[in-house]
Copies of this chain bind each other. A is one copy, B any other.
Amino acid sequence: MENNRYDQGVKKLAEIDGTAGENVIASLQNVAPDLGKYIIEFAFGDIYCRCGLNLQEREMVTITSLLTAGGCEPQLEVHINGALNVGISPKKVVETFLQCIPYTGFPKVLNAITVAKKVFADREIILK
Contacts and interface: CB of A to CB of B under 8 A. Distances in A.
Interface of A: 1-3, 5, 24, 27-28, 30-32, 34-35, 38-39, 42-43, 46-47, 50, 52-53, 57-58, 60-62, 64-72, 74-75, 91-92, 94-111, 113-114, 116-117, 120, 126-127
A97 to B, nearest CB: 7
A64 B58 contact: no
Nearest to A59: B99
Contacts of A65: 64-65, 67-68, 100, 103-104
Contacts of A103: 62, 65-66, 69, 72, 75, 105-107
Contacts of A38: 42, 46, 98, 101, 106
